[in-house]
A and B are shown apart, each in its own frame.
Chain A
Amino acid sequence: MRAMVYRGPYRIRVEEKDIPPIEHPNDAIVRVSLAAICGSDLHLYHGMMPDTRVGMTFGHEFIGVVHEVGPSVQSLRVGDRVMVPFNVYCGSCFFCARGLYSNCHNVNPNATAVGGIYGYSHTCGGYDGGQSEYVRVPFADVGPSVIPDWLEDEDAVLCTDALATGYFGAQLGDIAEGDVVVVFGAGPVGLFAAKSAWLMGAGRVIVIDHLQYRLDKAQSFAHAETYNFTEYADIVVEMKKATDHLGADVVIDAVGAEADGNFLQHVTSAKFKLQGGSPVALNWAIDSVRKGGTVSVMGAYGPLFSAVKFGDAMNKGLTLRMNQCPVKRQWPRLFSHIRNGYLKPSDIVTHRIPLEHIAEGYHIFSAKLDNCIKPLIVPNAA
């Protein structure tokens, strides 16, 4: 089969690999019909995530068709069209039993601090991902779901992470009616978080980024007020002014490890890997939220330390909420919102790239060329 393969920071290529075998009785092998590149894949691509090995296939957003099932699989059959949450999880450990699917303890030998994620380094379990023609899906009776007939492929693939994560991020904000919600980052997760904030009754949604084309999308797609932080001397002061010097009730960090806007923070983390992630957006979030407010962190950070302004968070009495999204918990409600026409995930898709050209796809997404917001990957076998 053909698969994307990591060759080192900023370098990937497509190689021939063996179709993955069944390794556990509850495994399924899925023939990938559509995948996506996630903003967090760029952290791997840039060499920021420890234990990212040459030869690994990335990709934690994918859908496909069941190609083979292990002997204990009961809920899927060969030929089923399935969507697969980015979490690998057992469904039965202490954490899964409480719905914390993203914190599963039975699927990641390499770390206890994070569960299993497809194609996301050995720190997240060492599973090859879905930017390939076939992928191994452990716990087929737990993770994947048959895609409802009415759900289109491009909408389904965005439910496997970006939409679910944005929606989850808004929920972690504990938004109450009339709350002012600020979202840092107008990438896919930020756009979905902004859109979801309205579902939860926000009174005002403000999106901040430095890429004007993404802010334009935030206005049209998510009905948000927008601020381009490059146009202001200090975006925190601007947020105070915009909120009558109170600060926002809820701030969502939808940027994560490669946040820009402070040369030193960005370069020491994203370029020289001396921090687990650049905390620029997180620090802005801490400073922009009102005292007693809530910061929801959806941006992904590496396991190393980061220079976070924890003192301000403590002194302001903030509630900091965060987690990798337990994707499948979100699906029933998201399906309802999509069917009702409240959400149309595929509206943010800008590029559809054949697997053979995935190196260009990563560069376009990473360098933000061509007004790229969300690139999808189409495997040859699709």
Chain B
Amino acid sequence: MAYTPDKPALPVPIEELRARIPGWGADLDPKDRPAVPRERFDPGASGAHWDFPDRQPEKWPRERSIEHAFLPPVFGTSCPPKGLSGAIRKVAYRRYSEGRAAHWLLLIAADRVNVVEANLASMVSLRPDNPITETGILSEFSHHGLSSRLGKKRTDVKHLWLDPIIVGGPWVVRGLLGYHLIRVVRRRGRPRGVPTG
């Protein structure tokens, strides 16, 4: 007990655990644990046959943390920054270190802008975004959506009502904005009435 010197007794004795659980104690000795010690200086262990790797060609000005001394030799090339979201991302990387909240908040803002950009671009493409198929929501019907939740005491059910708002809300906002935009354009394009009589 916490109030006396000895450790509480285990509900199952060690010998019984050893007999019952396959491999019990196989890594009891820390020497057998591959992550111990945490740091082991052994540059030859990794298979690297270089001191510093060859540099990957930089095909566009690659954004990088200002905490780096230079562009690391190897990097991902998944999605080059472009558009307004790309401009925001470049500012986040150029101006703010990883230690500044502004860095991350700008990147999150850019992510949201990026989604709107992609959504608008998809509308004029051969494959517009489809929120039904892209959310996989139909699996609610094919994979026991109701029975997976009802009567299961799942704590996430308490805020389930938020999900349609978070997922569907931006689509509703975009729809309303689009509708408003069309109305404004139509109103401006209409010939002004000429007073008669």
Contact = CB atoms under 8 A, between A and B. Distances in A.
A227 interface: no
B98 A97 contact: no
Interface in A99-123: 99-101, 105-113, 116, 122-123
Contacts of B133: 13, 359
A317 to B, nearest CB: 14
Contacts of A337: 23, 26
Interface string A161-186: 00000001001101001100000000
B1 A127 contact: no
A382 interface: no
A368 B188 CA distance: 50
Given A55-B78, A142-B47, A369-B143, A304 B24 contact: no
A342 B107 contact: no
A112 B65 CA distance: 7
Interface residues of A, number: 114
Nearest to A332: B34
A358 B24 CA distance: 38
Q: Interface residues of B: mostly helix, strand, loop or mixed?
A: loop
Interface residues of B, number: 102
Interface in A283-299: 290
Contact of B34 (A54, A122, A171, A290): A171
A4 to B, nearest CB: 11
A53 B78 contact: yes
Contacts, number: 308
B33 A109 contact: no
Given A24-B54, A110-B64, A369-B143, A56 B48 contact: no
A204 interface: yes
A223 B21 contact: yes
Contact of B154 (A230, A245, A303): A230
Interface stretch (A61-69, A151-159, A261-269, A308-316): A261-269
B56 A24 contact: yes
Interface stretch (B5-13, B178-186, B189-197): B5-13
B145 A369 contact: yes
18 contacts: A88-B76, A92-B46, A92-B53, A97-B42, A108-B75, A109-B71, A111-B67, A112-B65, A177-B25, A178-B7, A200-B25, A245-B3, A261-B155, A303-B104, A326-B35, A342-B22, A360-B143, A363-B135
